[in-house]
Structure 1
Amino acid sequence: LDPTSFLSPLCERLPQAACILDVGCGSGRDLLWLKNRGFNVLGFDRSFQMAALVKQQVGCSVIVGDFTAFDFSRFSMDATILVGALVHLPCEYFGSVFANIAVGVKKDGLVLLTMKEGRGISTDSHGRVFYYWQDEDLRKSLDSMKLRIVHFHRHESVKDKKDMWLTYVLSKTD
Structure 2
Amino acid sequence: MKTTLDYYSNHADAFFNATVDIDLQPLYQAFLPFIPPGGNILDAGCGSGRDAKFFQSKGFNVTAMDACPEMAMKASRHLGFGVDLRSFSQIDEVNEYHGIWCCASLLHVPFEELPDILNRMCAALKPGGVLYLSFKYGAGEREKDGRLFTDLNLHRLVDLVDSVPFSIEKSWRTSDLRPKRSHTGMWLNAVLSKDQVIEQKYIPCLTRLTETFMQRL
* TM-score after normalising by structure 2: 0.73
Matches within 5 A, 1:42-121: 42-68=63-89, 70-74=90-94, 76-121=96-141
Tell me the distance in 1 between the aligned counterparts of 2:32 and 2:83.
Answer: 20
Aligned residues: CA RMSD: 1.7
More off after superposition, 163-172 vs 145-154: 145-154
Tell me the distance in 2 between the aligned counterparts of 1:144 and 1:67.
Answer: 18
Gaps of 5+ in 2: 1-21, 199-217
> Residue 171 of structure 1 corresponds to which residue in structure 2?
193
Gaps of 5+ in 1: none
1:138 to 134, 146, 157: 157
2:46 to 25, 28, 49: 25
Equivalences, count: 172
- Partner AA of 1:146 in structure 2: P
Tell me the distance in 2 between the aligned counterparts of 1:32 and 1:14.
Answer: 16
Tell me the distance in 1 between the aligned counterparts of 2:142 and 2:159.
Answer: 23
1:162 to 181, 184, 188: 184
> Residue 39 of structure 1 corresponds to which residue in structure 2?
60
Q: Does 1:127 align with 2:127?
A: no
Query: What is the Cα deviation at residue 75 of structure 1?
Result: 5.5
Instruction: Spell out structure 1 runs of 4+ moving beyond 3 A.
Output: none
Tell me the distance in 1 between the aligned counterparts of 2:139 and 2:174.
Answer: 16
Q: Deviations over 1:111-164 (max 9, x none)?
A: 11111111233333x321211112112112213323122222111113432321
Q: Which structure has the larger Rg over C-alpha atoms?
A: 2
Aligned residues of 1:76 and 1:104 also touching (Cα < 8 A): yes
Aligned residues of 2:24 and 2:177 also touching (Cα < 8 A): no
Question: Residue 129 of structure 2 aligns to a residue in which SS?
Answer: strand
Tell me the distance in 1 between the aligned counterparts of 2:72 and 2:109.
Answer: 21
What is the percent sequence identity of the aligned residues?
A: 27
Tell me the distance in 1 between the aligned counterparts of 2:187 and 2:77.
Answer: 30
- Partner AA of 1:4 in structure 2: Q
